[in-house]
Amino acid sequence: MRIENHPILIFDRGKILSFFFNGEVIKGYEGESIAAALHAAGIKVLSHSHELHHPRGLFCAIGNCSSCLMVVDGQPNVRVCVEKLREGMRVETQKGKGCLTQ
Amino acid sequence: MRETEVLVVGGGPAGMVAAIEAAERGAKVVLTERDDRLGGQLIKQTHKFFGSQKQYAGSRGIDISKLLEEKLSNNPNIEILTETTVLGIYEDGVVTMEGANKHLKLKPKRTILATGASEKFLPFANNDLPGIYGAGAVQTLMNVYGVTPGQRVLMVGAGNIGLIVSYQLMQSGVEVAAIIDAAPKIGGYLVHASKIRRAGVPIFTSHTILNAYGQEFVEGAIVASLDDKWQPILGTEKDLAVDVICLAVGLSPLTELCWQAGCEMKYIPEFGGYVPRKNEFLETTVPGVYVCGDAGGVEEASAAMVEGRVAGISVAASLGFGLNIVQDLEAALKDLDQLRSGPAGEKILKGLEKLFARGKQHVS
Ligand SMILES: Cc1cc2nc3c(=O)[nH]c(=O)nc-3n(C[C@H](O)[C@H](O)[C@H](O)COP(=O)(O)OP(=O)(O)OC[C@H]3O[C@@H](n4cnc5c(N)ncnc54)[C@H](O)[C@@H]3O)c2cc1C
Ligand code: FES
């Protein structure tokens, strides 16, 4: 959920952007991370673990832990917590370890 | 290859101050930050800082960051590279980095590592479910992006970070179901704890989390009391319906670059993990490589800034810059002592004692 009223902070949100999450159109703001936009849209499951296929979400949100790897515009293993949203971006749940020649 | 006099890795409070101090004395400085903005942890700190007045206590972290940024951008000796991650430090002194999908190389005469810390994890069943976040992640979502992490939170850890983030969650309209801590006493300041209790949030000490549950993401958590041997007591389990579990169980220094540079490392529990050995001027055992802030031992922003000052003055001095180096250094070291003189500094002093244990040998 987006915070609208905050006692201290004013959120200067950028331009509204559309992007695709597994084919579905989602809106977010320019300047925010993919993970933040997905989270605001209620999407918490970002990937699955390799061996046991457990659902995975973000953990650190600053690019330290690699818990948030997704396929972005065909490129696997992108840390979506530190990748900024762009208009028309295709964001997909990653299956397995990802393949660079995809 | 590009050269510079000083490279500062990390644009948090420690790195920003180090860059300013070195540049003000005449050194050419390149400051790299992997994020798209400077400030490190400060950009999420909406509360008024505790600590010494001299180190901006009473100001909000976000405002301190802006102040430092202004100083940085007004200094022609400083080049700021944001969205630039330092990847490696090689034996011949070459530092490699990635910025805007390019591989960059730089040869600095001195390197200051101010990479900060990363959050600790906690072992419990289903701790990999989505909805389990580090306290810093919750702050980033809510205070940087204005997105709430969920609706109802279990906070694990009643240190200052756990308490402050709980309060910030409430300010964002998120319910905090409870704060638990394994220790028998609240670790954070009582002013923070009272504020939270007054708002109706229970703080359970001597409690731990046994497991999280949920299909695709967190739907709840089971917590239980601990006996005096820190073992869960059967029959005391409580089931909390929460969709977020926030871990505020400490930080450990981000030291990959120290390891890679070949710094001698030592495990210091008081500092949150392995840290590089250093002398009082903050130079590590690798000549020319300095460390300051949380990367050299987890402490707080005020200390990180004074350490940045020490490191900045030290590198400038070692390069032959600066007029009143001795006085400036002495003043900075005195401020550091003063910061650590209170009860909160005891742990840090104990850690430092261990770090310097083998006869205070100085590297340079
Ligand atoms: C909730 C919370 C409340 C706090 N409250 C207080 C308070 O009231 N008072 C107080 O004094 N302190 C407080 N602190 C602590 C304080 O924020 C930290 O101690 C301080 O920010 C440490 O500064 P630093 O510069 O060492 O690290 P950081 O602020 O973590 O900065 C490190 C920077 O380095 C960057 N970096 C890391 N690796 C690389 C790389 N390889 N290449 C390029 N850049 C890199 C990171 O992106 C980051 O920006 C609080 C902390 C938290 C989490
Ligand atoms: S959540 Fe840790 S790297 Fe993205």
Within a 13 Å sphere around the CA of B251, how many CA atoms are in the beta-carbon half? 26
pLDDT value for B123? 95
pTM above 0.90, yes or no: yes
Q: Residue A47's closest chain B neighbor by CA?
A: B130
From ligand 2's centre to the CA of A10, what distance in Å?
25
Which listed ligand is nearest to A47 at the C-alpha? 2
Which of these three, B204, B227, B247, is where a domain ends? Answer: B247
Closest ligand 2 atom to the C-alpha of B137? 1
Measure CB to CB from residue A45 to each of B34, B147, B216 and give the nearest one. Answer: B216
Residues with Cβ within 8 Å of B214's Cβ and at least 6 positions away in sequence, in order, are: B126, B129, B131, B220
Residues B108 and B31 in one domain: yes
For residue B191, the domain's CATH number is 3.50.50.60
More confident residue, B322 or A82: A82
Torsion of CA B80, B336, B359, B289, to 10 degrees: 0
Name the helix (H) or strand (E) containing A28: strand A24-29
Average pLDDT over residues A43-47: 94
* Interfacial B residues in 257-316 facing A (CB < 8 Å): none
Q: What is the mean pLDDT of each run of 10 residues along chain B (364 residues)?
A: 96 98 97 95 83 73 93 96 96 92 95 96 96 96 96 97 96 97 94 95 98 97 97 97 97 96 96 96 96 96 95 97 92 92 86 69 44
Residue B36 is encoded by which pair of tokens? 């798209």
What is the value of ipTM here, to two decimals? 0.94
Measure CB to CB from residue A6 to each of B134, B136, B172 and give the nearest one. Answer: B172
Structural domain tally of chain B?
A: 2
pLDDT value for B17? 98
DSSP A68: T
With CA atoms as reference, report the closest residue to B239 among B259, B213, B263.
B213
Q: Please indicate, yes or no, if residue A37 is contained in any of the structural domains.
A: yes
Q: Please indicate, yes or no, if residue A100 is contained in any of the structural domains.
A: no
pLDDT value for B48? 79
Average pLDDT over chain A reads: 92
More confident residue, B170 or A95: B170
Structural domain tally of chain A?
A: 1
Q: Please indicate, yes or no, if residue B364 is contained in any of the structural domains.
A: no
pLDDT value for B364? 42
* C-alpha to C-alpha distances, B320 to A27, A44, B17, B26, B313, nearest whole angstrom: 54, 53, 19, 9, 11
* C-alpha to C-alpha distances, B74 to B36, B68, B241, nearest whole angstrom: 19, 10, 51
Check B141 against A36: CB less than 8 A apart. Answer: yes
Contacts of A27 in chain B (CB under 8 A): none
Query: Which domain covers residue B289, as residue numbers?
Result: 2-118+251-355
Which of these three, B229, B247, B265, is where a domain ends? Answer: B247
- Residue B341 to residue B351: CA distance in whole angstroms: 14
Indicate whether A22 pLDDT > 70: yes
Which of these three, B231, B247, B263, is where a domain ends? Answer: B247
Residues B295 and B351 in one domain: yes
Q: Please indicate, yes or no, if residue B361 is contained in any of the structural domains.
A: no
Q: Please indicate, yes or no, if residue A62 is contained in any of the structural domains.
A: yes
How far is B287 from chain A, CA to nearest CA, in Å?
28
Cα distance between the two ends of chain A: 33
* C-alpha to C-alpha distances, B39 to A1, A66, B90, B204, B322, nearest whole angstrom: 25, 22, 27, 33, 26
Q: Residue A31's closest chain B neighbor by CA?
A: B145
Question: What are the residues of chain A with a beta carbon less than 8 Å away from any beta carbon of chain B?
Answer: 1-3, 5-9, 11, 13, 32-33, 36, 39-40, 44-46, 49, 54-65, 81-82, 84
The confidence band for A82, taking pLDDT boundaries of 50, 70 and 90, is very high
Residues B98 and B159 in one domain: no
- Residue B183 to residue A19: CA distance in whole angstroms: 45
Q: Please indicate, yes or no, if residue B301 is contained in any of the structural domains.
A: yes
Q: Is A27 strand, coil or helix?
A: strand
- Residue B311 to residue B202: CA distance in whole angstroms: 42
Residues B128 and B235 in one domain: yes
pLDDT value for B51? 64
pLDDT value for A59? 95
Contacts of A36 in chain B (CB under 8 A): 141, 144-145, 147
Residues B113 and B131 in one domain: no
Query: Which domain covers residue A54, as residue numbers?
Result: 18-92
Residues B128 and B113 in one domain: no
Residues B301 and B233 in one domain: no
Q: Please indicate, yes or no, if residue B362 is contained in any of the structural domains.
A: no
Measure CB to CB from residue B137 to each of A1, A8, A58 and give the nearest one. Answer: A58
Is A64 close to ligand 2, i.e. is its CB under 6 Å away? yes
Is A44 close to ligand 2, i.e. is its CB under 6 Å away? no
Q: Please indicate, yes or no, if residue A64 is contained in any of the structural domains.
A: yes
